[in-house]
Amino acid sequence: METIKNYLDSIFIGLPESEEIMRLKSDLQDSMEDKYIELKREGKTENEAIGIVISEFGNIDELLNEMEVQTKMNQSQLPTLDLEPAKEYLSLKHKSDKMVGLGVWMIIFSTSILAFVYQALEDNLFLTQLSGNAKNTFPALIFLVFLIPAVAILIYSGTKLDSYKFIEENKFKTTLATRAYVENYYNQEKTKQTQGVIIGVSVCFLSLVPALISNMISDDATTYGGSILLFMISIAVYILITTGSKANACKQLLQIDEYKVEKSKESKVIGIVASIIWPIAVCIFLFTGLVYHKWEINWIVFPLTGILFGGFCAVYSMSTKEN
């Protein structure tokens, strides 16, 4: 049954989603499913039944001509994605997401190490001969040592997928073989994604434990607790970024959920907002740190930005869904 639905989905890709077309699609699906069920009842195997149903489907152009459908995008002009490039896209996308994960991990980790070094210097745990001024600047130096390669990695990860831009712009169509392979792969990855999300979110919550405990001990310990909190969040974020990567790449290839042709606008808006809000957060962080020496508290800007950004994404998708 799923195969019939997928078959129709692949045929209707790129067609306007008007009421008329959607009605036609669901009529065709009902009809094909009825035929499939009857063939199965006559004792045909699943494969035989599907084979017959699809071979008796006919030619969609015949139908579209009759309905005078103007195909918005001329499908035949879109590049076809074969199985091999699709596999390569999946693997490249995963690699690129791992790099993004690593980059983001390094940024958050650098704030964690920054908080730690700042407090350790304050407590005279090492480098005791440094002057007061140097003690304020030294943590920033360490921060930059992590930040610069992190930014480099993030930029590089973006260029890795340049040759597959047309996929991310939804300007392609897939062959049936590709679709079947990706669907299969997606179903395997979906469960892994759920597990990853559960682990990532758990680590997020657990990260509060050292922060709360250290808070009970003393003010100075709070900074160490904050450092551990950031470290655990950095790991959680890495898990969250990389875990959905394969499943999301599949969704992109299948053009489902948030990767439907008309929906890609939304992720673009979110992308633009992200590329503005995060550098601002980093600027605020560096500014309050270097100018006002508030390293012990200003890391809060990152979790805050995260919460605000997450809230924005949720509200934005809700409002576009309603439209």
Partner 1 sequence: MISSDIIRGYNDIIILYLLLEDSSYGYEISKNIRQITNEEYVMKETTLYSAFARLEKNGYIQSFFGEETQGKRRTYYKITQEGLQYYKEKCEEWEVTKEVINKFIKEMG
Q: Which is nearer to partner 1, 31 or 124 (CB)?
A: 31
Distances (CA, A) of 242 to 20, 94, 142, 233: 40, 7, 26, 14
Rg (CA), the chain: 26
Q: Which is nearer to partner 1, 53 or 232 (CB)?
A: 53
Contact criterion met (CB below 8 Å) for 305 and 312: no
Q: Which is nearer to partner 1, 61 or 262 (CB)?
A: 61
Q: How far is the CB of 1 from partner 1 (least distance, A)?
A: 12
Residues present in the chain in total = 323
Binding site for partner 1 (CB under 8 A): 23-24, 27-28, 30-32, 34-35, 38, 56-60, 62-63, 65-67
Q: How far is the CB of 72 from partner 1 (least distance, A)?
A: 19
Q: How far is the CB of 59 from partner 1 (least distance, A)?
A: 6
Structure tokens at 71: 């195909």
Report how far residue 295's alpha carbon sits from residue 56's, in angstroms, rounded to the nearest whole number. Answer: 70
Report how far residue 197's alpha carbon sits from residue 194's, in angstroms, rounded to the nearest whole number. Answer: 5
Q: Which is nearer to partner 1, 42 or 322 (CB)?
A: 42
Q: How far is the CB of 26 from partner 1 (least distance, A)?
A: 9
Contact criterion met (CB below 8 Å) for 126 and 119: no
Q: How far is the CB of 56 from partner 1 (least distance, A)?
A: 6
Contact criterion met (CB below 8 Å) for 126 and 117: no
Q: How far is the CB of 58 from partner 1 (least distance, A)?
A: 3
Q: Cβ contacts of residue 52 below 8 Å, gap of 6+?
A: 35, 39, 44
Q: Which is nearer to partner 1, 15 or 106 (CB)?
A: 15
Q: Which is nearer to partner 1, 38 or 262 (CB)?
A: 38
